Chain A
Amino acid sequence: MSSAPSAPSAPPAGSRREVDLARVKPYADHLGDGIVQLSFTLPVPYGLAARKAAQELAAKMGLEHPEVVHYQGLTEGYTYFVMFGECVHTVDYASLSGDGFDVEYMSEEEIETFAREHIGRPIVVVGAATGTDTHSVGIDAMLNLKGFHGHHGLEGYKAFTTYNLGSQVPNSVLVAKAIDLHADAILVSQTVTQQNLHIANLTELVEIVEAESARKQLILTCGGPRVSNELAKELGYDAGFSKGTYPHHVASFIVRELAARIAERGAVDPATAGAGDPTERGAVDPATAGAGDPPGAGNA
């Protein structure tokens, strides 16, 4: 996820065609061929009629020259297909990336350096799985030192002071803790999505933050298997993180957003410009912040 996708079987140097980023199409064998691969199952028995049905369906999806490259019976009355087809549409990647849509992910070292230079004090992050959600795996992966997949969580960064409240935390308790700690960011995880329970929970949290007049002071981020930036916008969050997210993705977003807010506040009121508000949190030497915290302090 973090590493740039390497170009498949790169052609010899010099022969590569320039990509038109305003008109991007899927790539398979050569640039602009538009070929996509898709797989699906139809509830029909294996046979030539099934194959034809899949082809017609792919054509209805708008794919040209749909081709079944593999199909097999799954069980009585079900057939699985792998297909190729040509997508005729293009997307304007250039304008999307030019509109602040993209968050450039930083490495852990880059995040530490960025935070030291632009924020200069520990960034306080409070996280929980709220409401009836008993799953703490997502919030643990992002916050706890152990992290996952070889990427350690925010607790392991010098730049962050983290508080993981665990699971089944009422939204109001999470907000109370965040206000109490003068948190910079809330990270809320929602794994259970039956009957859109995650929507109700996430909505209530942001409404409580608004009711406490704390929305502008808090960076609100949410994560979970069915969370996206589109959903985050709909719900009123600053960012939404889905599957494939590593702690440094979340950290990149938080440090950039906080630095931008500090710069804005500084622009409005020069008296409080600079490294946050040292009087409120107790002045912290950025060089030793986080590293010297007693064990447990970062993971209440």
Chain B
Amino acid sequence: MASDSFGPLTELLASTRRLALVGLAKNTGKTETLAAILAEHATAGRLVGVTSIGRDGEEHDVIDARIDKPRVHLQKGGLVASTGALLRASGVAHERLVQTGVRTPLGEVVIARLSEPGIVEVAGPSAAADVRAVSEAMAELGAEQVLIDGAIDRRAASSPAVADGLVMATGAVLGEEIEQVVAATANAVDLVRLPRAADPDPQECVALTRGLVLNADPAQIAALLGEHPRASTFLVEGALGERFLEGLLGARRERAARQLRIVVGDPTKVFLSRRGPSWYARQGISIEVLRTIELKAITVNPVAPQSHRFDSRQLRELIAVAVAEVPILDVLDASYFALAK
């Protein structure tokens, strides 16, 4: 989408109560995006809540200590989910409102309200069900929007069961060639925007057991197709992985190739790393979901730390060609400062 047809992030996200931020890899600028959204809210005087399924605002990266991380600035009155120890270590005055009872390896998560503006380390619950509960609690405590920051490339918190919308962060770290970055981003977007399944015809629809899908034993998959020669739709309740899809392709080749449709709960339950959904569609297997994710925006980081960089504008334009109908922004680029003013 051309960069003059939309406003700054907070405008794009105005209707989103619980927003998930997901990075396609580490160092795709997810926390910079979070910081930009927080800064805009602060300017507008809106009180928001922040939680993280990993850790945010830590001084150094836990996986690569050479990388300095952006810090998370919160305004006075802002809500944050973090552990007691990390809040205390921040040195920022705060009031503990809720002991959540959620235990993490860094201590119990509490919800606090800042009594003064400052820099805090955010470390909320990791399990999707707990993230949902903490987000609800922060909304009830008055947060106009709850920002749920992801960790590494984890997607579970972007499930429609947890969040109402998603901002995806991508960046140069995904490949040394700009085309690789664009292709990987397009695949990830295809996955997030898997189409909603039209009501499946119960006659042609077979619900699969968890063990069959997870174990992905080729013989069992072949037997399944044999047992249901007329079925065209398979329902998968849990995780759908590449091994099962490959098993399905193999088994299908042995019997006359037929069009198959696999229906899963939502896009976070689909695990594809080698090939995107469009590749499977070309092989005659379409993947659809019962609940869709609202992709609100894509942010790009044109810099790969300790490695290479691309031109921000070129990267955004190439992604815009590959991925339709979603605003693409670089929150650290001059073009974005112009929007945010």
- Chain A interface (Cβ < 8 Å from any Cβ of B): 92, 95-96, 99-101, 170, 172-173, 175-176, 179-180, 196, 199, 203-204, 206-208, 210-213, 215-216, 228-240, 257, 260, 264
Whether the Cβ atoms of A234 and B152 lie closer than 8 Å is: yes
User: Does B84 sit within 8 A of A, measured CB to CB?
Assistant: yes
Q: How far is the CA of A91 from the CA of B129 in the complex (A)?
A: 34
Apart from A172-B244, A208-B239, 19 more pairs, CB < 8 Å: A99-B83, A100-B103, A101-B85, A170-B243, A172-B213, A172-B214, A172-B243, A173-B214, A203-B154, A204-B271, A208-B214, A211-B268, A215-B129, A215-B156, A230-B105, A236-B127, A236-B151, A237-B126, A238-B105
Q: Assuming the A-B contacts A207-B154, A230-B105, are A173 and B215 also in contact, with contact meaning beta carbons closer than 8 angstroms in the complex? A: yes
Contact pick for A99, options B84, B129, B271, CB 8 Å: B84
B211 CB contacts on chain A under 8 angstroms: 176, 179-180
Most-contacted residue by chain B among A180, A212, A233, A260 (CB, 10 A): A233
Query: Which applies to chain B's interface (DSSP): helix, strand, loop or mixed?
Result: mixed
Distance between A153 CB and nearest chain B CB, rounded to angstroms: 22
Q: Assuming the A-B contacts A99-B107, A233-B105, A239-B105, are A179 and B210 also in contact, with contact meaning beta carbons closer than 8 angstroms in the complex? A: yes
Whether the Cβ atoms of A210 and B127 lie closer than 8 Å is: yes
- Chain B interface (Cβ < 8 Å from any Cβ of A): 53-55, 62-63, 83-85, 88-89, 101, 103-108, 123, 126-130, 151-156, 159, 210-211, 213-216, 238-239, 241, 243-244, 265, 268-269, 271
Contact pick for B215, options A95, A176, A204, A233, CB 8 Å: A176
Q: How far is the CA of A99 from the CA of B85 in the complex (A)?
A: 6
B107 CB contacts on chain A under 8 angstroms: 99-101
Residue of A nearest to B87 (CB): A99
Q: How far is the CA of A172 from the CA of B193 in the complex (A)?
A: 23
A170 CB contacts on chain B under 8 angstroms: 216, 243
Residue of A nearest to B86 (CB): A99
Q: How far is the CA of A237 from the CA of B53 in the complex (A)?
A: 10
Q: How far is the CA of A238 from the CA of B105 in the complex (A)?
A: 6
Q: How many A-B residue pairs have CB under 8 A?
A: 130
Q: Assuming the A-B contacts A172-B214, A173-B214, A264-B101, are A236 and B268 also in contact, with contact meaning beta carbons closer than 8 angstroms in the complex? A: no
Whether the Cβ atoms of B54 and A176 lie closer than 8 Å is: no
Q: How far is the CA of A99 from the CA of B123 in the complex (A)?
A: 14
Residue of A nearest to B155 (CB): A207
Contact pick for A236, options B126, B129, B241, CB 8 Å: B126
B84 CB contacts on chain A under 8 angstroms: 95, 99
Contact pick for B54, options A216, A234, A240, CB 8 Å: A234
B55 CB contacts on chain A under 8 angstroms: 230, 233-234
Residue of A nearest to B209 (CB): A176
A233 CB contacts on chain B under 8 angstroms: 54-55, 104-106, 123, 126
Q: Assuming the A-B contacts A99-B83, A234-B55, are A215 and B105 also in contact, with contact meaning beta carbons closer than 8 angstroms in the complex? A: no
